[in-house]
Amino acid sequence: MKWEYKRLLWDPSMQGWKLQNNEAELEKELAYLGLEGWELVSERNSKITSNNRVEEVTYTFKRPIEE
C-alpha cells in the first residue's frame, strides 16, 4: 500500500493555522481532513523559544493512495 502525507503548522500565538486565526478553524480543518480520509500520525512542537514557549506545532497526516 502506498501513502500520501500532509503536514500542517499550527501557531499557538495566533491560535490558528498559518493565515487562519482561531481555534474553531483548527477543529473545522481537522474534521475536514478526517472526512477526506486523512489520519493524524504525529504531532510535535516544531518551534520552541529559549524559555520553552511553544511557537509552532507540526501535525503530520497520512492517507492511502488509491491505485
pLDDT in tens, 5-36: 988 877 766 655 554 445 677 778 888 899 99
For residue 48, the model assigns a pLDDT of: 73
56 compared with 65, residue with greater pLDDT: 65
**How much is the mean pLDDT over the chain?**
78
Alpha-helical (H) ranges within 4-59 are: 23-35
Identify the pLDDT of residue 21.
Answer: 47
Phi, psi of 66, deg, nearest 5:
-80, 125
> Cα angle at 30 between 64 and 65, to 5 degrees?
10
CA distances for 38 relative to 42, 46, 48, 65, angstroms: 12, 21, 26, 11
Is residue 43 predicted with pLDDT exceeding 80?
yes
